[in-house]
Structure 1
Amino acid sequence: MLITSTIIATLGLLVDSPAVVIGAMIVAPLMNPILSCAFGISTSDGILIQRSLVTILLGSATVMLLAWALDEAVPTTILSQEIIARTTPNIVDLGIALAAGAAGAFSLTRPKIANSIAGVAIAVALVPPLCVAGIGLGLHDDIGVSVETAVPIGIGNQVTTGALLLFCANLIGITVAASLVFLWQRYGHWRRAGVSLVSLGLLLAVVSGPLSGAMGEFILEKRIDSQIAKLWERYPHYREVIQLKNLSVQTNSKGVKVDFQLYAPSSLLDDQILDQLHGELSQVLEKSGLGTVTTTIRHVPTEVRSYRSTLAP
């Protein structure tokens, strides 16, 4: 089942099909050993914990290697939206994992709602991030990105690192929440599971750091999107024919880098408008103490044609 779900997920990622990737989530059996590990933690069953961890590690390695092999057989030339979406996790993904872990554990303690586990598998992704990590192992610097996707993203190692971070967040979040639910349902004892819970708490804190940083970039993207929308309000005739696409924000110790595309007729976007747009964005971001603001605007020229026809009564 794990092999078939990996094949489905990897091919779905390569052809950018959300429906196929969702189908792979339902087929994937990785949720079971994670919940078993959580149950072992709550009941202080060391053997169950060890067997579950070995299953998780072997299963994860199998998925990554098979995804890498499939990517080598069907070489990736453009990163799809489905791939890119799993390379930039944030703290929201950890919240989803915690909620999914609680739901999964609770459904196991209530036979009447055991069917809910399929919904949990869809809500939190386990196999797709591992497939993206495997795909990232074979990526090269000359790989492009689709016009519909975010433009500047990491290639190769950065893709693998981002996907593995998402998987680790899901793994730790599910395990923590499921362990707490099992203990709440009186499977095991709080005191005997204390050491394991403290260890999980530390892991949760470690993974929350980079996820919180990504969340900051996500919030910045929303602020920039809002600022651009306000600018277009002063130019309503622009708003009708100009589209903002692929907004990306990257922060570092030196400042913030903003990158986006504007689809607009060549006659509308002159240097004055673009300079004004960069100036307003810089003012907003510099007030936040983010340092130097670097804005890259990619202008994609378009042609707008309007047609009107009168229908006979």
Structure 2
Amino acid sequence: MHHSTKEKKIIHIFTLMQKLYHGEEIYAQNERLCDEFGINERTLRRYLEDLLRLYGQILVLERKQKNINGKKVNVYRVVDRQKDISDTLRFFLEESNELSWIITMVHENDPRILNTLSFHDKEIIEKNIQLDKEIFLFRSNPFENLQDIEESKRFSTIKAAVKHREYRNIEYQYDQHELLENVKCLKLIFASNNWYLAIETEEGRFRLLRIAFIKKIHYAKDKTTYQQHTLAKYRHYFETMQNPMTLEGVAIQTAILKANPAIKRYFVKGMKPFFLSQRYIETTEDGSVIFSINYTQALEILPFIKQWSPSLELLEPQSLKAILKKELSQALSLYN
């Protein structure tokens, strides 16, 4: 199975957590471990520093003599190896907000990595995955944004609101300041390298709020929790959402595109799609690949088409082609 760099990082971090859980002492100069991961010492050190920053409550860093040119090195280990090690696993999976979503990400990227765990540990993880599926939705990889988002206590507050299906009052600052009262906190979504909170407003309107623009979040005065059936209304949207520009409750349209031979290897049958709805259609005689993508509005798909231009051609529909031509003409006019 081929993994992207970010997917590999997630799996490496989780594997380090497993090794610490089993009582191993880990240090960045461990050539065997670097070879196992296919990374260098500097990268392994960065991973370990991330774990210490996030899990300082149960990890300790100390200098120990290792067989590395007779020098002492920084060694990372669980604080108390004599205590019930299941407490450590429970902390990783349940008590810590910092990486609670990483288990779901590992499961989505390569569930085979969980096969090495004991039956008891698997039960804990499977329970955690089911719980977090109700909280998180991933449409891109959140690991690179971990440090920024996890430094904010607001994220933990929002997660709790989603988990317990709570009404909240939210102060939101995008183009202008808004006070959104009695909103239902539906789901945390990571897409296009940003965290979003899906909400239903007091008027019954669905919105995505970028978490970076949420200034304050308070308990609603007169309402506490909403019913599960509210989430059921948006199940189809959450299952088909492709990026933050995907609209809810809007008719789906289909674009037909052609990737020329220069970029066809990224679009041939079997390659990882760029969009959830992307479908291979055929390969033409000249080697071009025809494929389709569903969309709800132009903004959902046009940035992708522009990114691959001129090697990617939009064939249909004509209405979307007209919008694309207009935007490209406006862009070119800036250079005249």
TM > 0.5: no
Q: Which has the higher strand share?
A: 2
Q: TM-score, normalised by structure 1?
A: 0.24
Structure (1 or 2) with the greater helix fraction? 1
TM-score, normalising length from structure 2? 0.23
